[in-house]
Amino acid sequence: MSETVATPPEIPTRPEVPAWKLVLTLGIAGALAGLLLVFVDQATREQIAENRRKAVREAVGEVLGGPAKVVSFAVGADALVREAEPNYEVDTVALNRVFAGYADEEGKQLLGFALAYQRTGFQDAIRVIFGYDPRTKKVLGVKVLEHKETPGLGDAIEKEPFLGPIRGQVVDLVPVKPGDGTGTEHEVDTITGATISSQWVVWIINEAVAKAGPRIDAWLAQAEGGR
Amino acid sequence: MSDPTRSETLFRGVWRENPVMIHMLGLCPALAVTNTVMNSIAMGMATLFVLTGSSLLVSTFKRFIPHEVRITTYILIIATFVTIVDMSLAAWTPGLHKALGAYIALIVVNCMILGRQEAYASKQSVGRALLDALGTGFGFIIALVMMGAVREILGSGSFLGVSLFGDNFEPWLVMVLPPGGFLALGFWLLGLNWWTQRRERRAAEGAA
Amino acid sequence: MSDSLFGILIGAMVVNNFTLYYFLGLCPFMGVSGRIATAVRMGMANIFVLTLTSISAWILNNFVLPHAPFLRVISFIVVIASLVQIVEMAIKKLSPTLFRQLGIFLPLITTNCAILGLAIFQTNKAYGFFEGLFYAIGAGLGLTLALVLMASIREETDRADVPRIARGMALVLIIAGSLSLAFMGFAGLLSSA
Amino acid sequence: MSMKLPRLLVTASPHLKGPASTAKIMWHVTWSLLPVWGVAIWWYGPSAFLVVVAATAGCLLPERLFGKRGSLNDGSCVITGILLGLTLPPGIPLWMAFVGGFFSIAFGKLVFGGLGQNAFNPALLGRAFLQASFPVALTTWPAGGGEWWRLRGDNFALPLMRGDPADTVTEATPLALMKWDRESEAAQALGVDDLVFGMTGGSVGEGAAIVILLCGGYLALRNFLNWRIPASIFLSVAVFSGLLHLIDADRFASPQFMLFSGGLMLGAVYMATDMVTSPVTNRACWIFGFGIGFLTIVIRTWGGLPEGVMYAILLMNALVPFLNRWTQPRVFGTGRKKGAPA
Amino acid sequence: MRALSLFRHGVHPPDHKTLTAELAVKRMPFPARVVLPLSQHAGNPARCIVKVGDHVERGDKVAEADGYVSVPIHASATGTVSEIGLWPHPNGGYQPAVTIDVDPYSAQTRRQRLLPDWESLDQGALVKAVQEAGVVGLGGAAFPTHVKLVPPEGRKVTTLLVNGCECEPYLTTDHRTMVDYPERVHLGIRIMLECLGVKRALVGIELNKADAIQRMEETKPADLDVEIMGLRVRYPQGAEKMLIQSLLDREVPSGGLPADVGVIVQNVASIATIAEAFETGLPLIERIVTVTGNGVKKPANLIVPVGTILEDLIAACGGLTDDAAEVVLGGPMMGTACANLQAPVMKGTTGVVVLTKSEVRSREQQPCIRCGHCLDSCPVFLNPQLLGNLAKNDEIQEMTDNHLWDCMLCGCCSYVCPSNIPLSQMFAAAKDSARRAQASKA
């Protein structure tokens, strides 16, 4: 096999173009492209950000069972930092933000916290948001934000038959095979055929609680103590 | 070479020189996002938009683009259109944007688009370039829908989201998974080969 | 939970193989996979460019793009293309042998979706410098693996009496589909427990 | 001078022919599968019979339609069908077994040009296709016990429709127990004896380890399979799982367990040794088997799936041309060996 | 005595030797005519020096050597040259040959010696005399023996190997030579050692010829450094390279000669013939031929005048049976089939094996299933599977890169192939076309 590099014959008729012309062409093209993009960006940026926030906002509302008021907290090094306005930019890798939902407008009746967290599934990350009541350690509601599990199989983790029964269970959750449960309030029935995917959801909840739980508890103790 | 008619310019890319089925170009999106017909159409439309837009620009300004930097310029133009599509989809159809994911940005490196600029738009009039881009783009959409149809019907038992076989249908999940992409295109090619070869044989028999 | 570097490497290499799972880098996969020797060199060139891409994408992401995220696609493609060009010229000058081995593949790779795909995925996953590096190497190894497997199978099937309707790309796609099926065995590797 | 002369033939040398023939090899393998099938029927009842028949029918159809003339007689198709059937759960709807068989032969063999030219083991490719298509049906393992005549699942589900899960009493396979339910009573109670002699949840042909070994031994003695492949698979599985078991006996299952659980026996003896898709050189056979064992343990231990034999074999199938190329025998009179006398 | 076999692979076909192994060598009656092809040996054909009508006596030269790698041909019976022209050749087709009508009234007696007494000759003259006697390798290849007696420049031969393996099934020529004429073999060895200036000789005999081993041991002269060695029964034990490896554990380098490892190999029948020639003074005009197989009525080991037409030879053995289907000259593994029984016996014809219909029923070729049995059988460690695949696609260059030239066409791969792929035939054809390509390039 010969792999000599064949230099294509120069086309003799093409006139030499001065370098400044090349640079100018690229410059103009680049500038025009940039200009166009800035314009489109201006038109779409807010909408895109809003779409993202909306997704999280709706999810928070869903897993907390429709709170009247939501407060966001940045997860600090050792404590939760309350934010003035609810901020829905979440980083599910770092678990940078949790949300507290209240049943009343004044923020008196705490419904629970919403936590968004992720881990690697079969192919890619599974991102889950769930509501959690720090006082009873109960899960309030679960929603899968994003996953790439097998369609038709692993994607059962985003469906009600699996997620519904998790509601009301107490962390630490223990995944069990359907029918094998002993009836304790820690148990979650996994999905036949998608056992691992469903176990991952359970682990995500456990890990998220393990990670942010102490800070939530601390905040709660402070808030209730201060009252 | 005789000058092809306008309709030839338009229809050539649609079927006879279909970018995916015949020339094997743009395979990456053709395999990656065709697990439903809707995704196929969306991806096809996005590509059509980028292709038509850049063909128009390139053929309009072909006089001013020096040969030495033409590829870079084409890429710049294509990338601009792709970014526009990307942001627009993200803003107004977030669901679709999520389904297509990074593959929208990857339209930039779809060899079909760059190929059309280099081979056609940079040499022809604006009108012809437009026809050619439309033809090729529709050809691309057709190919993607062909893929999407097979994959969605078998893989989800539905077409454009409408269930075809009732609730008890057992979907062939493999078709919506990556292997299904390869297999579906392989299956189409087998069929097309069978068809063309049969036609050739018939023609040969007719001639004899 | 963040993945270990080894996990990222293995993940990019076999679990989410760029070619067989993400359909990236299909042009060389279909075009250059006729011979093992060529496939190996193509793979090497790919690893090299992917690594380079990962580094430049990291630099862009951290120092340039925070100010203008809408320029991401454009800047990735332009920077990568020119970088590869420069490296190509440098190799040509410094080591003609290496150039003969890898050089002719470099221009092919520049407009290869795997390269841009890597840059975008790396950005989406918010990988740091070393994570990105391992991701790139894993992806490159995965591409090489797929290329070499494909090439060695094709060297066999070139001599087989493949039926007329399956000759050419149809068979290649079915082989690729089979490989992709086989690679499904790696699903979830290192991510359970 | 006239001697009555018969018409004489002229053929090329050698004029003698060894006893082996392709059809003989294939039919021997087929016969040797019958005891395995028999044990399966004894355990899983009519379902085991039906599933294998459906898979075989699925294999025969495309071969008859698109194959070369007379290629049905070489027996290879029947082997593919029976092997595919043996790897399926007994309760699977028959139409799925049929589809799997069809895919095996049409896409796993005929597109490559028929017998001898395919790159992947057709039966396993069909199995992988089914596994990817119908993961739930393919991982629904019926429990033992009950009346022998009872079907072990909704075998007669209508084509394209899903089986009725209510018909099935399921049970986890030992490997699944070991992977996800290690603490459970069922896992604790599981002994290697059960794996070797007893009936555990699993595919049609999984339980008959001893019979498979005996039949494989017979085939190896007759040189109808290369003994190096199963030998190296067993060896590498034993070594790798043994090492892991030594490191942490609580986390990693014992080598005996790894050897006798899942489809390892069937895979090592009948699938990996498929002549077409295994290497031709003996050195490559060792590497091939070693690779299968290693990948099996990797997938079983760290992968997302409980069982990896099938994928391990398919992956190594893909490597076979490469292995063949790199293990060419040293031709007589070349290389380092002593040349001139001292 | 040790049972040696250091060569690996090979095959073990049923040997069918019992048909003739116990039958002592007998002389066949002179036929009505003999036909002497001018091309009976490897190298240049001999040049005819008689004309039609000439009267020739037994042992008279009818054709002389044309060059160094060539030997003369002698009349094998007293009679008249009746025809010089094309005649069916055992290898197929027609080739120039001298036909002698045998004088029915001649006594065909032994005549005064034509060759000098060997003890009076020096090395060079001895080699010349061997050429003059028309001796070629009688094991089948018919390579002129005198050429082998002069090792190439720079190679020192230290050992003479005598090949008494006769690993081909059916044949018992060498076997009976060793049983019936062991003294002659030992004398031949003595002459060869003298000729080569070598002290030591090893005789390799397969263990299925116990009587031959015993007779050779019994008659071994005390002053001769000869060792008789039993070898495992395995085809192709008698191939030069395999024999050298089994007896001495040396590998002849690829493309090299036995002399490269200090060895020369001679077939036992050739050695006996040299001894006989110097004993009787007559050149090589007759040889022992095994006529055997289930297709022949009375199998026998016969001393046959070179040039005897196959039809006569077979008639002398009772004729063909009704189900005879194929006549093979030489052993069934490497011999060539011959459909024209007018073809004559040549110097290199070791045997005539007649196979019956049931033994040669043609087997349908099937696709290769990559079982690898051919690799396990190839004595020189080729990859016949790969080579066959390349041959099918006419990739001759690739084949030569994969050591096509090391193939000795022993037929083991074809023998074991379950799919009946005629591998060795394909390799022979490939070698031919490679040779042609080389020739046209040159």
* E88-114 tens-digit pLDDT: 999 888 999 999 999 988 877 767 778
- Comparison of pLDDT for D280 and A193, the residue scoring more: D280
The average pLDDT across D169-191 equals: 71
Q: Is the pLDDT of residue E3 over 80?
A: no
Contacts of E389 in chain C (CB under 8 A): 159
Rg of chain C, C-alpha, whole Å:
17
Smallest Cβ–Cβ distance between D134 and the set B165, B170, B183 belongs to B170
Cα(E359)–Cα(A162) distance, integer angstroms: 71
Instruction: Please tell me the predicted confidence (pLDDT) of residue E1.
Output: 46
D2 pLDDT higher than 60: no
pLDDT at residue number C191? 64
Q: What percent of chain A has pLDDT above 70?
A: 90
Q: Is the pLDDT of residue E206 over 50?
A: yes
Chain C, nearest residue to E395 by Cα? C159
Tell me if C169 is assigned to some domain.
Answer: yes
Domain assignment of residue B201, yes or no: no
Domain ranges of chain E: 3-16+119-280, 373-441
* C78 with B180: Cβ contact below 8 A: no
Q: Which domain does B70 fall in, by range?
A: 7-150
Neighbouring residues of E249: CB distance < 8 A, sequence distance ≥ 6: E6
Residue-wise pLDDT tens digits, D34-82: 999 999 898 888 999 999 999 999 999 999 998 887 778 788 899 999 9
Examine the pLDDT at A177 and tell me if it is beyond 80.
no
Q: Is the dihedral of CA B66, B68, B74, B75 positive or negative?
A: negative
What is the pLDDT confidence band of residue E122, given thresholds at 50, 70 and 90?
confident
Confidence class of residue D166 from pLDDT cuts 50, 70 and 90?
low
Most E CBs within 10 Å, among D1, D7, D22, to test the E interface: D22
Q: Quick one: pLDDT at residue D198?
A: 61
Count of domains forming chain C: 1
pLDDT for residue E4 = 63
> Which residues 383-412 in chain E show a CB within 8 A of chain D?
383, 385-386, 402-403, 406, 409, 411
Which of helix, strand or coil describes residue E121? Answer: coil
* Residue A206 in contact with partner chain D when CB distance is under 8 A: no
- Domain edges within chain D: 21-171, 172-325
Average pLDDT over residues B195-205: 92
Neighbours of D129 (CB within 10 A): 25
Q: What does the alpha-carbon distance between residue E177 and residue E192 come to, in Å, rounded to a whole number?
A: 17
In order, the DSSP letters of C51-67 are HHHHHHHHHIIIIIGGG
- Structure pTM? 0.89
Does E261 sit within 8 Å of D116, measured CB to CB? no
* Touch criterion met for B and E (3+ Cβ pairs within 8 Å): no
Q: pLDDT, tens digit, for every residue of C136-159?
A: 999 999 999 999 999 989 988 888
A109 is a domain residue: yes
Residue D339: the pLDDT is: 42
Q: List chain C residues with CB under 8 Å of B189.
A: 168-170, 173
Residue A23 domain-assigned? no
pLDDT band at D337 (very low <50, low <70, confident <90, very high): very low
The 3-class secondary structure across D7-18, one letter per residue, is CCCCCCCCCCCC
Minimum CA–CA partner of D280 in chain E: E372
What's the full length of chain B, in residues? 208
**Which element (helix H / strand E) includes D150?**
none
Mind telling me how many Å the CA of B117 is from chain C's nearest CA?
14
Is A202 part of any domain? Answer: yes
- D161-200 residues touching B, CB cutoff 8 A: 161-163
Nearest C-alpha in C relative to A195: C192
- Per CB-CB distance under 8 Å, the chain D contacts of E338 are 8, 10
pLDDT at position E407: 93
CB-neighbour burial class of residue B166 (10 A; exposed 0-12, middle 13-18, buried 19+): exposed
pLDDT for C55: 92
* Longest alpha-carbon distance in chain D: 94
Phi, psi of A103 (to 5 degrees): -80, -20
Per-residue pLDDT band for A183 (boundaries 50, 70, 90) equals: confident
Confidence category of residue D146, pLDDT binned at 50, 70, 90: confident
Contact C184/B180, CB-based, under 8 Å?
no
- What is the β-pairing status of strands E33-37 and E94-102? antiparallel
Shortest distance between the Cα of E208 and any Cα of chain D, in A, equals: 19
Using a CB-CB distance cutoff of 8 angstroms, which residues of chain E are in contact with residue C163?
none
Residues of C in contact with A123 (CB under 8 A): 15-16, 21, 187
For position A190, what pLDDT does the model report? Answer: 82
Q: What is the pLDDT of residue E155?
A: 86
With CB atoms and an 8 Å threshold, state whether A37 touches B64.
Answer: no
How does the average pLDDT of chain E come out, rounded? Answer: 90
For residue E403, what pLDDT band results from cuts at 50, 70 and 90? very high
Candidate from C38, C126, C188 with C-beta closest to A122:
C188
- Predicted confidence band of residue D167 (pLDDT cuts 50, 70, 90): low
Residue A115 has pLDDT above 60, yes or no: yes
- Any idea of the CA torsion for B130, B134, B137, B139, to the nearest 10 degrees? -130
CA distance A94 to chain D (A): 24
Interface of A with D in 27-46 (CB under 8 A): none
- Rounded average pLDDT over A36-64: 88
8 Å CB contact of C185 and D114: no
Q: What is the pLDDT of residue D94?
A: 94
Amino acid at A87: N
Confidence of residue D100 (pLDDT cuts 50, 70, 90): very high
| Nearest Cα residue in chain D from B177 | D132
Judge whether E190 and E226 are in contact, CB under 8 Å: no
Q: Residue A10: is its pLDDT beyond 60?
A: no
CA distance D13 to chain B (A): 41
**Architecture in CATH of E3-16+119-280:** 3-Layer(aba) Sandwich (3.40)
Q: Does C100 touch chain A (CB under 8 A)?
A: yes
Bridge partners, B208 (sequence order) = none
C190 located within any domain: no
Encoding tokens for residue C162? 């493949």
CB contacts, 8 Å: D119 with chain C: 153, 156-157, 175, 178
* pLDDT value of residue B165: 86
Residue recorded with tokens 């015993």: E214
The CA distance from D78 to the nearest CA of chain A, in Å, is 30
Q: Which among D255, D260, D271, D259 has a CA at the least distance from the CA of D312? A: D271
Report the mean per-residue pLDDT for chain A.
82
Spatial separation of the C-alpha atoms in residues C21 and E246, rounded to whole Å = 55
**Residue range D220-237: average pLDDT?**
94
Q: How confident is the model at residue E424 (pLDDT cuts 50, 70, 90)?
A: very high
pLDDT of residue A1: 39
Residues of chain E with a CB closer than 8 angstroms to some CB in chain C: 389-390, 392-393
Q: Do C177 and B186 touch (CB under 8 A)?
A: yes
Quote ipTM for the complex: 0.87
D322 interfacial to chain C (CB closer than 8 Å): yes
**Contact (CB, 8 A) for A120 and C11:** yes
Q: Which residues on D lie below 8 Å from C3 (Cβ)?
A: none
Shortest Cα distance, chain C CAs vs residue E393, angstroms: 7
- The residues, any chain, with a CB within 8 Å of residue A51's CB and separated by 6 or more, are B90, B91, B94
pLDDT score for E179: 95
Q: Considering only alpha carbons, which residue of chain B is nearest residue C180?
A: B179
In this complex, the residue of A153, A177, A192 whose CB is nearest that of residue D181 is A177
Q: Looking at residues B50-67, what average pLDDT do you find?
A: 90
Question: Domain range for residue A217?
Answer: 45-225
C159 touches chain E (CB under 8 A): yes
Distance (Å) from the alpha carbon of B123 to chain A's nearest alpha carbon: 15
* pLDDT value, residue D306: 80
Tell me the pLDDT tens digit for each residue of E53-77: 999 999 899 999 998 999 999 999 9
Q: Closest-CA residue in chain D for E295?
A: D6
Q: What is the pLDDT of residue A15?
A: 65
Chains A and E touch (3+ CB pairs under 8 A): no
DSSP secondary structure of E342-398: TSBP-TT--EEEEEEHHHH------------HHHHH-TT---HHHHHHHHHTT-HHH
Least confident of A30-39, C144-153, D97-106, E306-315: A30-39
C73-116, pLDDT tens digit by residue?
A: 888 888 888 887 787 788 788 878 777 766 666 766 766 788 88
Minimal CA–CA distance to B116: which of B43, B53, B31, B61?
Answer: B53
Chain E positions in Cβ-Cβ contact with residue C159 (cut-off 8 Å): 389-390, 392-393
Mean of pLDDT values over A123-148: 88
| Residue C157 to residue D299, Cβ atoms within 8 A | no
- E142 has pLDDT over 50: yes
Q: Distance (Å, rounded) from C-alpha A188 to C-alpha A178?
A: 8
Residue B194 covered by a domain: no
Domain count, chain B: 1
| Calpha distance A11→A32 (Å, rounded) | 31
Q: Which residue of C has its CA nearest to A127?
A: C1
**What local confidence, expressed as pLDDT, does residue B3 receive?**
67
For the residues A68-86, what does the mean pLDDT come to? 85
- The confidence band for E27, taking pLDDT boundaries of 50, 70 and 90, is very high
- Chains touching chain A through at least 3 C-beta pairs below 8 angstroms are B, C, D
Contact D115, D161 (CB under 8 A): no
Residues of B in contact with C180 (CB under 8 A): 178-179, 182
**How many beta-carbon pairs under 8 angstroms link B with D?**
36
Question: Can you tell me the distance from the alpha carbon of B103 to that of B93, in angstroms, rounded to the nearest whole number?
Answer: 15
Distance CA A73, CA A218 (A): 13
Mean pLDDT of C32-37: 76
Q: Of the given ranges (B176-180, D184-188, E283-287), which has the lowest mean pLDDT?
A: D184-188
Does position E119 have pLDDT exceeding 80, yes or no? yes
Q: Which of A200, A194, C189 is nearest to D139 (CA)?
A: A194
Write out residues 15-34 of A within 8 Å (CB-CB) of B: 17, 21-22, 25-26, 29-30, 33
Q: Does any CB of chain C come closer than 8 Å to the CB of residue A5? A: yes
Q: Which domain holds residue C51?
A: 2-184
For range E322-338, the mean pLDDT: 91
- CB distance D125–C181 less than 8 Å? yes
* Residue A169 reports pLDDT greater than 50: yes
Q: Give chain B positions within 8 Å (CB) of D137.
A: 170
The reported pLDDT for the residue numbered C3 is: 65
Instruction: Give D145 to chain C, closest Cα distance, Å.
Output: 32
The domain tally of chain A equals 1
CB-CB under 8 Å, B76 with A21:
no
More reliable by pLDDT, D305 or D105: D105
Cβ-nearest to D329 among E375, E415, E417 = E375
